[in-house]
Amino acid sequence: MQLKLKIWRQATPEQQGCLEDYQLSGVSPEMSFLEMLDLLNEQLTMAGQTPVEFDHDCREGICGSCNLMINGQAHGPQQRTSTCQLYMRNFHDGDTVVVEPWRAQAFPIVKDLVVDRSAFDRIVAAGGFISVKAGSAPEANSIPVAPDRSQTAFDYATCIGCGACVAACPNASASLFTAAKVAHLAFLPQGHPERQQRVLKMTQQMAAEGFGDCSNHGECQAVCPKGISIDAIATMRREYIKTIL
């Protein structure tokens, strides 16, 4: 396939960025989107030009670092798919593909397509953990947990922290990310002792990082590569209201 790429280039956080055009041939439908960018960078390097900076790590849809806005959609056109698991068979010969970084005040651009998502780390560090000393791992069935609650907790725990929810939200809200971290612990007995301080500290940190408020657009759920439901946000809100009351 041959593609026309329009890619955001920005040398430093302080400099103005812009979309630059590239013609790329020899793209196989079996390539992943990141492999296609690898091919582009090989050609740029051979031509003595600066390659495009983009984030990646596991390339298995687990780490969440492959955060790209593709044709205006977080992670591209295929639902419940991270960028590294998006394959070029979803595009056609001659297509124009626009590739941009996440756009959010709380995710400042580092270079080209790379953004700083350390705000998520600070939200988790504020309270998204269990700190009580529980000793060695107990026998699996010693603490009864209803199957529906354990499954819901597991669903929320699959959040990979990619930031697609923030990029897609018109308010740049991190509510789905924060709610998934709050809710998956709230649904398990091990998370109960710290549930009140957890929801307060994490939501306060979320606001301090400059994320917007949730207004129930539902875009976050639509683009989440793990399909996390906005029901998590309702759980977080209930936890918060119970705490302040």
The predicted model scores a pTM of 0.94
**Structure confidence by residue, pLDDT tens digits, 13-60:** 999 999 999 999 999 999 999 999 999 999 999 999 999 999 999 999
Cβ–Cβ < 8 Å for 184, 223: no
Q: Range of 86's domain? A: 3-110
User: Do residues 80 and 160 share a domain?
Assistant: no
User: Do residues 41 and 81 share a domain?
Assistant: yes
Residue 140 has pLDDT above 90, yes or no: no
Cβ–Cβ < 8 Å for 44, 1: no
Residue 190 has pLDDT above 90, yes or no: no
User: Do residues 103 and 125 share a domain?
Assistant: no
pLDDT of residue 139: 75
Q: What CATH number should be reported for the domain holding residue 209?
A: 1.10.1060.10
What's the number of domains the chain is made of? 2
- The region of weakest confidence among 71-75, 147-151, 226-230 is 147-151
Q: Which of 110, 127, 161 is the last residue of a domain?
A: 110
pLDDT of residue 83: 98
**Structure confidence by residue, pLDDT tens digits, 199-212:** 999 999 999 999 99
- In this prediction, residues 58-79 reach a mean pLDDT of 96
User: Do residues 97 and 148 share a domain?
Assistant: no
Q: Which of 54, 77, 110 is the last residue of a domain?
A: 110
Q: Which of 62, 80, 110 is the last residue of a domain?
A: 110
Q: What percent of the chain has pLDDT over 70?
A: 98
User: Do residues 127 and 104 share a domain?
Assistant: no
pLDDT of residue 134: 62
**Structure confidence by residue, pLDDT tens digits, 97-134:** 999 999 999 999 999 999 999 999 999 999 999 887 76
User: Do residues 104 and 133 share a domain?
Assistant: no
User: Do residues 121 and 238 share a domain?
Assistant: yes
The CB density around residue 111, as the number of other CB atoms within 10 Å, is 18
User: Do residues 129 and 40 share a domain?
Assistant: no
Torsion sign over Cα 78, 82, 83, 89: negative
pLDDT of residue 142: 77
